Amino acid sequence: MPQISVLIPIFNVEKYLRECLDSVVNQTFRDLEIICINDGSTDGSLAIIEEYARRDPRIVIIDKANSGYGDSMNHGLDRATGEYIAIVESDDWVELDMFEELHDLATEHGVEVVKSNYFTYYADPERKALSDEKIELVRAHEVGRVIDPSKNIDIFFQQPAIWSAIYRRDFLVANGIRFLPTPGASYQDTSFAFKVWSSAHRVVYTSDAFLHYRRDNEASSVNNAGKVFCVSDEYAEIERFAAERDLSTEIWRILRLSKWGAYAWNIDRLQADLAPDFIALASEQFKADLESGRFNFEFCDVNQAREISEIIEHPERVIERKQAQDAAKVSVVMPFFNVEEYLRKCIDSVLGQTLSEVELILVDDGSVDASSDIAEEYFRNDPRVRLVSLRNSGQAIARNRGMELAHADYIAFIDGDDYYEPDSLEKMRDALVEHDVDFVVGSIRPVFEPGIRSAMEKFQDQHYYEVRRSGLQQVTSELLLDLDASVCNKMFVRESVENRGIEFPEGLRFEDAYFVNAYGFTSSTAFFLEPEDYVYNYVRRAGSTMSTTFGRSNTAKDHLTVAFRLFELLEKHELTEKYGVYYMRMLDQYATFAFQHSEERDHAEIWRKLRYFIDTHREQLAQMDAYALRNLEHRVYRGVLGRLNKTPGLRRIVFRAGRTVQNSLAGIMPKLSVTHRARQNIHADITLLRQQVAGSTAALSAQLNSQRRRIAEIADQVDQLVGDRQKADRAKSTKGAKSTSKK
């Protein structure tokens, strides 16, 4: 009996099949039974399977008439003889050690299911940034230990991803776990996964990922009239399974919430002409569940309760909302938090645009004033409005959640205390469509509340908010230098944001700068409206995001974190050469800002992070702009040493840095045989070090004095060695000097 039976359902996948089969037959774990179920393919898939079967006796072929995914999988389950069952879909592929790793975990822990994470894959170059993203299916504290799904109910709400696991075959047989044999290939993993989790008591997860899940197979689609009700069939099967086994009330509660999540996802994706019938069906089913007592709103969070209540009581509104969503030309994401005084004006400025085909996504970030009630009112009265409520999580998380819900071709952002000009969205969208650019930029008009202007003018002035260019522009370093950091006066191509994997960095205050730069780095063209074309009115008030960002705050250090993450993005997209000079200037500015506007207690942490970043990426940063890197280090040292008396913790860090440099001098010495220019650079580094140490003498304690003298002694030794080397060089012939090897 083989240890693992691998089921591979196949239907017209000749384009991908060899890659899939190669990844399975070449597994490091050899004790496999590979069952290929050909579901009536009309392309060359069967011939490919037969070719592989002639070379590998482990391959078993089931060739049958087309009957759909579920029936094919049941044929495979019936034929399997292995101790464990694995599933690999024929347009995906797996890492070569997948089954060895999963089998080891299964035998070590004696479990019914071993589950792993997985990778996404996109062949489309436009979605390159999304490929190889590791999808985490389980919380960190649940990894590596045996868990019971009934006590870890979040498992039920994961993506099914049934192919990222192995299952004990006797467990599946004993619990009657099979696939629903409906025609086609939609949602059949839904009931299978629910049956597994409601029956299993011993499951182990690994944080590793092995399977590469292809997301852009053009043959995959749910926009098919024959598949609209498949999800309903799957949940009918789950309810049958649950009723036969008299599952607990808790499992029924999970079932209802899971069902609503799947129905909402289906409604969201359906074409407008297919939606009304499915919405009517969903309304009838949830109304019946409510009347029978199998469902009540105590099961739900506020968002689920709002949505389910509407589909039960007002299904016609859901249809209108779906139609408005599909007609929208621009999605506007509006996060808000305790802005009851400003919110109506802001919402009205969006819904009253000359471009009426808008989708307004309101994201309530845990407001405790009347803002939530105001948003609910607009949600009930205008089908163009969507509303989602969060626990207070910050603007980045709120905006990211809004982006997930957006459907229109273009996306814009507005804060809940600001407002648009009446034609702002029309101007920006028209420019995007006419010029086919990546983004459009307009001017911001600051609106100062009484008592705010004088305090804020130190950091921003009118010129910052006006566009500094006009018309169609190629995106270059020079353009990015002229670009303000706000997202609110810009409009972006939503699909480009999604394909490039760009989000607001969660947990940071300076999230706009990351988003604008990340999108700018990966763009080709932009269009600037005329400077007098104001599109956004920014209300400068006490407590606004900008007033806290530019005040002395412990969030100022977030500027540095933003710079570090942008460096990672440049490397990922291989853009360090194109934007290197711009990036080094930005790093300098952000580092300076972080020091100037942070609390003194944070200076040591900022210094440590900056020093570590420079040391880790010194070679890449030097290739970007060596001169800027040297100046940045010099200014940082000078600024830090000036604060040594005030910051004992920082003084200790510099002291340790001095010892580190001292220890590293031994590694510098062998490099003195490189070119004359390299020797000059080393000499300059040593001179700079001596200047830094000498400049800090007045601020250092007696303990530091002994170390300074030691560094000076080492520097003298280095000078002596350099002198000796120079004498030796002069003794050589001119020809010999020129032949010195390059570094």
DSSP per residue over 547-594, as a string?
A: HHHSSS-TTTTHHHHHHHHHHHHHHHTT-HHHHHHHHHHHHHHHHHHH
Helix, strand or coil for residue 608?
A: helix
Using an 8 Å Cβ cutoff, are 219 and 12 in contact? Answer: yes
Of 486, 516, 549, the position where a domain reaches its end is: 549
The helix (H) or strand (E) run that includes residue 298 is none
Q: How far apart are CA 632 and CA 513, in angstroms?
A: 21
Q: How far apart are CA 342 and CA 359, in angstroms?
A: 20
Do the domain assignments include residue 318? yes
455 with 471, same domain? yes
251 with 159, same domain? no
What is the pLDDT at residue 592? 85
Residue 335: C-alpha distances to residues 103, 186, 314, 362, 717 (Å): 46, 35, 26, 6, 62
Helices (H), 642-701: 648-668, 676-695
Structural domain total, the chain: 4
pLDDT of 735 above 60:
no
Spell 526-550 as b/e; 16+ CB within 10 A means b. Answer: bbbbeeebbbbbbbbbeebbbbebb
Which residues, other chains included, contact 272 with Cβ-Cβ below 8 Å and sequence gap of 6+? 322, 323, 326
277 with 349, same domain? no
User: Which of 491, 516, 521, 490 shows the shortest CA–CA distance to 503?
Assistant: 516
Do the domain assignments include residue 673? no
| Whole-structure pTM value | 0.78
Rounded to a whole number of angstroms, the distance between the first and last alpha carbons of the chain is: 60
- The full length of the chain comes to 743
Residue pLDDT, tens place only, 318-345: 999 999 999 999 999 999 999 999 999 9
Phi, psi (deg, nearest 5) at residue 246: 50, 55
73 with 198, same domain? yes
What is the pLDDT at residue 658? 54
65 with 198, same domain? yes
Amino acid at 241: F
105 with 37, same domain? yes
24 with 50, same domain? yes
Residue 437 belongs to domain with CATH number? 3.90.550.10
What number is the average pLDDT over the span 98-116? 97
Q: Is pLDDT larger for residue 486 or for residue 675?
A: 486
Phi, psi (deg, nearest 5) at residue 690: -65, -40
Do the domain assignments include residue 283? yes
| Position 549 confidence tier, pLDDT thresholds 50, 70, 90 | very low
pLDDT of 185 above 90:
no
Structure-token pair, residue 681 = 């650079």
If you search the block for the tokens 């919430």, which residue do you land on? 257
212 with 299, same domain? no
Do the domain assignments include residue 606? yes
Amino acid at 53: A
pLDDT of 299 above 80:
no
What number is the average pLDDT over the span 37-43? 97
60 with 199, same domain? yes
Residue pLDDT, tens place only, 49-80: 999 999 999 999 999 999 999 999 999 999 99
Q: How far apart are CA 575 and CA 611, in angstroms?
A: 23
Please report, rounded to a whole number, the percentage of residues in the chain having pLDDT higher than 70. 79
User: Which of 641, 609, 632, 647 shows the shortest CA–CA distance to 708?
Assistant: 641
If you search the block for the tokens 């709002």, which residue do you land on? 306
What number is the average pLDDT over the span 594-605? 81
Do the domain assignments include residue 363? yes
pLDDT of 650 above 60:
no
pLDDT of 313 above 60:
yes
Q: Is pLDDT larger for residue 114 or for residue 695?
A: 114
Which residues, other chains included, contact 633 with Cβ-Cβ below 8 Å and sequence gap of 6+? 614, 688
Do the domain assignments include residue 286? yes
Q: How far apart are CA 399 and CA 405, in angstroms?
A: 10
Do the domain assignments include residue 323? yes
Of 216, 246, 272, the position where a domain reaches its end is: 216
Helix, strand or coil for residue 244?
A: helix
User: Which of 53, 46, 61 shows the shortest CA–CA distance to 13?
Assistant: 46
Do the domain assignments include residue 694? no
What is the pLDDT at residue 510? 84
256 with 195, same domain? no
Phi, psi (deg, nearest 5) at residue 618: -55, -45
User: Which of 673, 663, 684, 645 shows the shortest CA–CA distance to 729?
Assistant: 673
Of 494, 529, 549, the position where a domain reaches its end is: 549
41 with 190, same domain? yes
β-sheet bridge partners, residue 147: 203
What is the pLDDT at residue 718? 63
pLDDT of 676 above 50:
no
Q: Give the CA count within 13 Å in the CB-facing half-sphere of 727.
A: 6
| Position 557 confidence tier, pLDDT thresholds 50, 70, 90 | confident
Bridge-based pairing of strands 32-39 and 4-10 is parallel
Residue 132 is classified by DSSP as T
Structure-token pair, residue 250 = 């808790």
If you search the block for the tokens 């080094």, which residue do you land on? 584
What number is the average pLDDT over the span 434-455? 84
Using an 8 Å Cβ cutoff, are 628 and 588 in contact? Answer: yes
Range of the domain at 48: 4-216
Q: Is pLDDT larger for residue 395 or for residue 296?
A: 395
437 with 575, same domain? no
Q: Give the CA count within 13 Å in the CB-facing half-sphere of 699.
A: 21
What is the pLDDT at residue 709? 66
Residue 383 is classified by DSSP as T
Q: How far apart are CA 553 and CA 62, in angstroms?
A: 66
Residue pLDDT, tens place only, 244-266: 988 887 888 888 888 888 888 88
Q: How far apart are CA 726 and CA 683, in angstroms?
A: 12
Q: Is pLDDT larger for residue 717 or for residue 364?
A: 364
10 Å CB burial of residue 317 (0-12, 13-18, 19+) is: middle
What is the pLDDT at residue 128? 66
Using an 8 Å Cβ cutoff, are 35 and 8 in contact? Answer: yes
| Position 552 confidence tier, pLDDT thresholds 50, 70, 90 | very low
10 Å CB burial of residue 615 (0-12, 13-18, 19+) is: exposed
Q: Give the CA count within 13 Å in the CB-facing half-sphere of 136.
A: 7
